[in-house]
């Protein structure tokens, strides 16, 4: 990930202003330690802190069109840049950078080109011919972006809050899938897939189509000119990413450049569930596995740095971000600059515990949609900023646009959790990769029970955080919490502790408004309570109190063979809910 900062129309083109803009841009240097760039056009400033992944030698930013009248600063990766270049044979590209296509696409198509981009991105584009500008963020919000307004009429854009919060009268998160145009003076949504309307899809489940779409999403994310690896917790999502990646590695350019073995990374407390499962998957796949240990005290000592970098006071996000933050530092020390990660699967397929209580497929699907629309505030934010804190880039194949189109078009009846039929959460994804002839994963890993990431790294991690907060937040402080923090009032000492740290770094009212809720977890969502009132009694965001929802069912159905399938072949896809020859539904 890179860091971008733009100041647009600030009515000050002095040297002092340029120095200040550079100073603010340096706050984002952790995101892009490889190079810095600044372009000034009157009172417009575009800056860039580069993490070089594609074309490290010549892809420094800002980037320009041929006559340098269109200037762009970009954070992201455009996976289909080679195909896009072919659409513009008359254009001359200055670099081999994937982001170089954006200025030229604007020349050809104006602001209509956004949906042509396949990737993750945030960018600011300045057209010096008329001093107009565009700002855009990717479909789901994988890359982080904020917008602010100054008293002088200026508009500020930054990859992180820390780049603009001292200078703006008001600021907020830039919404995913949106475009801001100075010509129209407002935001408009450019990403409008069919699932966004939340209408109930009816496409029959085809496991082979789902498998192929995911494999394609993983493979396109191996576009890199630097060493890379995969984050591997041993759960379904990261294990599938690792399995597909390792299969593709053999004989490819990436394999010849970086070695035929994939590197995998896992973090946890000594003896944690994730470490054990990840090692088993790594041994099965033959990856070069790196196992990082941390102690509860290591995590507690890092909390202030985590909150500064992640820019939230949300309880679950901080719990999960801390191990990822520590792991990212270790990964970067090995010389790796890009990793693939498994975020998004739970939102797409209903992987959280409370989805077991969904009353029907309509509500199940609408909740899928709601979770995806909010993902940029939680898991995407965590993955992006925890890795970017150390100049590491995380790519997330489950949030590929084309894969989303396939997965979110499936009739949600197939996503419903039905233990009596051997259908556990994310069953359609597990089923799609259950290949008897050439297994992607061992059966018990393919059907492994879900863990919250913050639990999987070691159960004493959350207990240690609670104990630490108990020592630093008194009962008297909690009594006055609603007066001290009237917005998103903390309801636990742990939440209060995080909030105090956040407010010290980001004291503005706009900053606290960028965090939705402050204790956002699957088990505490209003939808969970609507589906089953007993969820309201579970105040801990980890959801451990509800683990019995499906604990016993796993062992029973796995033992009975209900979670296995026979071979999935091209000639035997599933149609209209009926198992075709060669693809038997068991249980």
| Strands across the sheet containing 146-149 | 35-41, 44-50, 3-8, 155-158, 146-149, 170-173
Q: Determine the longest span between alpha carbons in the chain, in angstroms.
A: 74
Q: How far apart are the first and last CA of the chain?
A: 45
Pick the closest to residue 544 from 452, 445, 426 (CA basis): 452
CA distances from 270 to 256, 328, 445, 457 (A): 35, 18, 20, 9
CA distances from 316 to 498, 523, 570 (A): 11, 11, 41
184 belongs to an annotated ligand binding site: no
Pick the closest to residue 291 from 320, 261, 271 (CA basis): 271
**CB neighbours of 164 closer than 8 A, spacing ≥ 6?**
5, 24, 146, 148, 156, 157, 158, 171
Give the whole-angstrom CA distance, residue 309 versus residue 324: 12
Return the bridge partners of 16, or none. none
Pick the closest to residue 576 from 203, 204, 202 (CA basis): 204
Task: Give the DSSP letter of residue 418.
Answer: B
98 belongs to an annotated ligand binding site: yes
Asked if residue 331 lies in contact with residue 386, where contact means CB atoms within 8 angstroms, the answer is no
Radius of gyration of the chain (CA): 24
Asked if residue 494 lies in contact with residue 466, where contact means CB atoms within 8 angstroms, the answer is yes
Name the E strands within 338-467.
Answer: 338-340, 393-395
**CB neighbours of 555 closer than 8 A, spacing ≥ 6?**
none
Q: What is the DSSP track for 509-529?
A: HHHHHTS-SSS--GGGSHHHH
Give the whole-angstrom CA distance, residue 413 versus residue 360: 8
Q: State CA 151 to chain mean position distance.
A: 33
Asked if residue 228 lies in contact with residue 259, where contact means CB atoms within 8 angstroms, the answer is no
231 belongs to an annotated ligand binding site: yes
Would you call 2 a catalytic residue per the annotation?
A: yes
Name the E strands within 373-455.
Answer: 393-395
* Backbone φ, ψ for residue 291 (5° rounding): -110, 120
Cβ-in-10-Å burial (0-12, 13-18, 19+) of 221 comes to: buried
Give the whole-angstrom CA distance, residue 165 versus residue 167: 6
314 belongs to an annotated ligand binding site: no
| Strands across the sheet containing 63-64 | 63-64, 70-78, 119-127, 132-137, 178-181, 186-189
Asked if residue 220 lies in contact with residue 79, where contact means CB atoms within 8 angstroms, the answer is yes
**CB neighbours of 83 closer than 8 A, spacing ≥ 6?**
none
Among residues 2, 10, 168, 380, the one annotated as catalytic is 2
Give the whole-angstrom CA distance, residue 365 versus residue 72: 38
Give the whole-angstrom CA distance, residue 179 versus residue 190: 6
341 belongs to an annotated ligand binding site: yes
The binding site for ATP consists of 231, 267, 341-342
Query: Which residues are tagged catalytic?
Result: 2
Q: Which residues are annotated as a binding site for L-glutamine?
A: 98
């Amino acid at each position: 990930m890179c860091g971008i900062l733009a100041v647009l129309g600030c009515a000050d083109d002095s040297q002092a202003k340029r120095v200040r803009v550079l100073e603010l841009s340096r706050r984002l240097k952790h995101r892009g330690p490889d190079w810095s760039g600044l372009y000034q056009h009157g009172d417009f400033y575009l800056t860039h802190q580069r993490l070089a992944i594609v074309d490290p030698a010549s892809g420094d930013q800002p980037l320009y069109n041929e006559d340098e009248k269109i200037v762009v600063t970009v954070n992201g990766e455009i996976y289909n840049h080679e195909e896009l270049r072919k659409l513009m044979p008359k254009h001359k590209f200055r670099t081999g950078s994937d982001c170089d296509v954006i200025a030229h696409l604007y020349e050809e198509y104006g602001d209509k080109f956004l949906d042509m981009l396949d990737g993750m991105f945030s960018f600011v584009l300045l057209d010096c011919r008329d001093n107009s500008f565009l700002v855009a963020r990717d479909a789901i919000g994988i890359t982080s972006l904020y917008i602010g307004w100054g008293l002088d009429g200026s508009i500020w854009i930054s990859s992180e809050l820390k780049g603009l919060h001292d200078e703006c009268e008001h600021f907020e998160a830039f919404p995913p899938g949106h475009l801001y145009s100075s010509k129209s003076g407002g935001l408009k949504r450019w990403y409008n897939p069919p699932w966004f309307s939340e209408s109930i899809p009816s496409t029959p489940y085809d496991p082979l189509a789902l498998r192929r779409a995911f494999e394609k999403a993983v493979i396109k994310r191996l576009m890199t000119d630097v060493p890379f690896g995969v984050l591997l917790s041993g759960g379904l999502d990261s294990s599938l990413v690792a399995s597909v990646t390792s299969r593709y590695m053999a004989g490819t350019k990436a394999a010849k450049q970086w070695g035929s073995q994939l590197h995998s990374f896992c973090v946890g407390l000594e003896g944690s569930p994730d470490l054990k499962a990840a090692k088993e998957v790594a041994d099965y796949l033959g990856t070069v596995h790196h196992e990082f240990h941390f102690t509860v005290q290591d995590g507690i000592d890092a909390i202030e740095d985590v909150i500064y970098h992640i820019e939230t006071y949300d309880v679950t996000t901080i719990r999960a971000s801390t191990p990822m933050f520590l792991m990212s530092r270790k990964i970067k020390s090995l010389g790796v600059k890009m990793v693939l990660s498994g975020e998004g699967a739970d939102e797409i397929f209903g992987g959280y515990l409370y989805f077991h209580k969904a009353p029907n497929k309509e509500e199940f699907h609408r909740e899928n949609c709601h979770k995806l629309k909010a993902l940029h505030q939680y898991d995407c934010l965590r993955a992006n900023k925890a890795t970017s804190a150390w100049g590491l880039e995380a790519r997330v194949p489950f949030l590929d646009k084309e894969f989303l189109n396939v997965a979110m078009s499936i009739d949600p009846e197939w996503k419903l959790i039905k233990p009596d039929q051997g259908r556990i959460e994310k069953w359609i994804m597990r089923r799609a990769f259950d290949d008897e002839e050439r297994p992607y994963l061992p059966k018990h890993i393919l059907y492994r029970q879900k863990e919250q990431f913050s639990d999987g790294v070691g159960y004493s991690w959350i207990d240690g955080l609670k104990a630490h907060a108990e020592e630093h937040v008194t009962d008297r402080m909690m009594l006055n919490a609603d007066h001290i923090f009237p917005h998103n009032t903390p309801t636990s000492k742990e939440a209060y502790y995080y909030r105090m740290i956040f407010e010290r770094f980001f004291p503005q009212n706009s900053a606290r408004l960028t965090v939705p809720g402050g204790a956002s977890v699957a088990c505490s969502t209003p939808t969970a309570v609507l589906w089953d009132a007993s969820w309201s009694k579970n105040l801990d965001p980890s959801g451990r109190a509800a683990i019995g929802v499906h604990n016993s069912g796993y062992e029973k159905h796995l033992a009975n063979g209900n979670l296995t399938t026979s071979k999935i072949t091209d000639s035997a896809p599933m149609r209209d809910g009926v198992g075709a020859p060669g693809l038997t539904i068991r249980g």
